[in-house]
Structure 1
């Protein structure tokens, strides 16, 4: 297994790759415009995983760095899965100094519950207290 190098340096992000994955491959951001991805990166704490010079993984955290964080846009490119990179990426996220001592850390996942449970994530204690505005087809319905 090649070593995964993880950085939070936004200048290192292969924005074209992140946009391509999110807009074409992901199940949660299909059709997302490049400008939206760029703006989301600008206003988030980003973790990029590299093997050699190639970016193969990404995660983004939206946080006030004091009380709350939301983990989004986590992926490992399909051809690099099964090598422990998602766990290494999550270790970097969960160990990041500015994300320690938060009262609430959230995420949404359709199929990676086992990965996130390994890092202490559970179903909401009081789901009846959570609300959302959610537009799952926002990017594809704008045509």
Structure 2
């Protein structure tokens, strides 16, 4: 595989990342400032770059870097899907030095169970133990209610 993985906020092409995420089902219409704010408040951000240095993938992690890590916004540019890049991106994250002590990784997916199961993910073993509070996504000035 001739793709490079880079971590660090400063290494991301947020125009490209925003362009990919704005079409994703889990954050349809998200704007660049919101993507950047989320990345800036994350424990780890990772990009996948082509040999021509084009960013073609992205993921971020929220973690205490000790026990727990939540992986989100995992996305690969449509032109590069089904080549194993997403699987390699997940392995890069799971083996990252910053997360070496973490023993519980979580993520949500509606359509990529096969990708994640290949790197060890499985359905939550005790779903009844988990709870959530879910609010409507707040309206962002100038970006519409569903942005």
User: TM over 0.5, yes or no?
Assistant: yes
Matches of 1:8 and 1:37, distance apart in 2? 16
Give, in whole Å, the separation in 1 of the partners of 2:136 and 2:17: 19
CA distance in 1, matches of 2:135, 2:82: 31
**Contact 2:57–2:76 at 8 Å: present in 1 too?**
yes
Residue 100 (structure 1) shift: 2.2
**What residue number does 2:128 align with?**
128
* Cα distance between partner residues in 2 of 1:80 and 1:138: 32
Q: What is the root-mean-square deviation of aligned Cα atoms in Å? A: 1.8
**Take 2:127 and 2:65, find their aligned partners in 1: how far apart are those partners?**
24
Q: Is the 8 A contact 1:61 1:71 kept in 2?
A: yes
Taking structure 1 as the reference length, the TM-score comes to: 0.89
Q: Kindly state the Cα deviation for residue 103 of structure 1 after the two structures are TM-superposed.
A: 3.3
Which residue of structure 1 aligns with residue 26 of structure 2? Answer: 28
2:145 corresponds to 1:141? yes
What is the TM-score when the length of structure 2 is the normalising length? 0.87
Aligned length: 141
Residue 119 of structure 1, CA deviation: 1.6
Listed as ranges, the gaps of 5+ residues in structure 2 are none
Higher helix share: 1
Who is 2:59 aligned against? 59
